[in-house]
Amino acid sequence: MTVCPKCFAEIPDTSVFCLECGARIREDTTDSLYAEGSDREVYPEIARANLLRMKGEYEQAIEICLSILRRFPSNETAHALLGDIYADQGKLDDAIQWYELLVELAPNNAVYSAKLMNLRSMRAAQVAPPPPVELPDTPQPVRAPAPKVWVYALFSLLALILIVAAFVAGLRWNLQQAQQASETPSTPKPAESAVVPPPSQPVQSQPPVSVPPPPVETGNLATGMSEGEARLARVLSQQLKGLPVWCTFDVLSQRWHVRIRLQGGALTRPRIMQEALATARAFFEQSPTATGVVITVLVPSSTGGDNAVFAAEIPREVVAQAPAELTDEQVGMLFQPLTVWWNTTVGL
């Protein structure tokens, strides 16, 4: 190896000019390198091309090198300079091609071979995929079940909703009965409101009247919820710009269930999925230890009640990005691996 006296770069002993700065290294006119097409004959062009390369004017430098190779196809310095120019631009495939031609011209040159191996290693590092990142305790995505499993899941969900509704209604009815009993005064009611049987007939006790439990009011945030569940529902409602929210924790399945009610606006599947993602994201902000939540979306029906139009169990990793930053296509892709239920009777 030889050291350039100007830029102190290491160059092959066979080179007459520096590959980095283009400075002349040897003056021996008897050397075979000074034959036609040698570095000495094209030195001004090589030096100008290398100067353009250092300035970042790659296209002009490439054109000069190609002009040299059209006249002198075996010029090693032009080949090497072309490879270095393409490498500077990050075009590793082009740089490798020029150095492969250079190695064919000078197979015994260890510097050219080492530079070619380095370029190939750089390209392999770019093509190779990054190693997989293993996240601790990351739940696997739920795949869509078979059609029969869908039917079972739907009936299970409906049965769960009916059980919760009956429990909530019964609890509320008991509370109303207890409240009415506590408000009953100890003094007798006025005569006009009391039922007095005729004196000629014995007083008979009337059998208790079976009063059906009142319907569940989804607009009331406190219906059937504990103090902690109602507090969570109020916080979520504030974050969701006043949407009615109902929260409950199922002790049997150890899952949180959150229902929201959309009161206005166009009802489309992308909007419903966006609202479900926003609700799940707000829930996970309030429950940092929860790994998943079941979101149900309700809409007003024409009969005055509510219809459930959507239900899905959403894991924490699905809402890593804010829903407002996602397109409709991206939102749909997030729900593809999840178990999602749509009410086909609504016609969305």
Q: How far is residue 289's CA from residue 286's CA, in Å, rounded to a whole number?
A: 9
Residue 259 has pLDDT above 90, yes or no: yes
Tokens 């409950």 locate to 248
Percentage of the residues of the chain whose pLDDT score is greater than 90: 40
Matching residue, tokens 């609890």: 171
Q: Where residue 11 falls among pLDDT bands split at 50, 70, 90? A: confident
pLDDT at 285: 92
Order the strands of the 292-300 sheet from edge to edge: 245-250, 255-261, 292-300, 306-315, 340-342
Contacts 24+ apart (CB under 8 A), 231-237: 232/283, 232/286, 232/287, 235/286, 236/279, 236/282, 236/283, 236/286
The secondary structure of the chain, three-state, reads: CEECCCCCCEECCCCCECCCCCCECCCCCCCHHHCCCCCCCCHHHHHHHHHHHHHCCHHHHHHHHHHHHHHCCCCHHHHHHHHHHHHHCCCHHHHHHHHHHHHHHCCCCHHHHHHHHHHHHHHHHHHCCCCCCCCCCCCCCCCCCCHHHHHHHHHHHHHHHHHHHHHHHHHHHHHHHHHHHHHCCCCCCCHHHCCCCCCCCCCCCCCCCCCCCCCCCCCCCCCCCCHHHHHHHHHHHHHCCCCCEEEEEECCCCEEEEEEECCCCCCCHHHHHHHHHHHHHHHHHHCCCCCEEEEEEEEECCCCCEEEEEEEEEEHHHHCCCHHHCCHHHHHHHHCCCCEEECCCCCC
Give pTM, 2 decimals.
0.38
pLDDT tens, 41-75? 788 899 999 999 999 999 999 999 999 999 998 89
pLDDT at 223: 60
pLDDT for the residue 129: 63
Give 273's pLDDT tier (boundaries 50, 70, 90).
very high
- For the cut 60, the answer to whether the pLDDT of residue 213 exceeds it is no
Please state, in angstroms and rounded to a whole number, the distance separating the CA atoms of residues 5 and 201.
133
Range 2-127 has CATH code 1.25.40.10: yes
Q: Could you tell me if 247 and 287 are in contact, meaning their C-beta atoms sit under 8 angstroms apart?
A: no
Crossing angle for the helix pair 43-55 and 58-71, to the nearest 10 degrees: 160
- Indicate the average pLDDT of the chain: 79
Mean pLDDT of 139-145: 58
pLDDT at position 305: 82
341, pLDDT greater than 90: yes
Any idea which residue has 């499993």 for tokens? 149
| Backbone dihedral angles phi then psi of residue 146, each to the nearest 5 degrees | -65, 165
pLDDT tens, position by position, 76-119: 999 999 999 999 999 999 999 999 999 998 999 999 999 999 99
Q: What is the pLDDT of residues 178-209, one digit of tens each?
A: 777 665 554 444 444 444 444 544 444 444 43
CB 2 within 8 A of CB 25: yes
Question: What integer is the mean pLDDT of 277-282?
Answer: 94
Q: What is the pLDDT of residues 223-239, one digit of tens each?
A: 679 999 999 999 999 99
B/e letters for 303-339, b = 16+ CB within 10 Å, e = fewer, are eeebebbbbbbbbbebbeeebeebeeeebeebbeebb
Contact 340, 141 (CB under 8 A): no
On whether the CB atoms of residues 244 and 258 are closer than 8 A, the answer is no
Largest CA distance in the chain: 150
Regarding beta strands 292-300 and 255-261, do their DSSP bridges make them parallel or antiparallel, or are they unpaired?
parallel
User: pLDDT band at residue 134, thresholds of 50, 70 and 90?
Assistant: low
Domain edges within the chain? 2-127, 147-166+217-342
Q: Span 114-137, mean pLDDT?
A: 78
Amino acid code (one letter) for 72: F
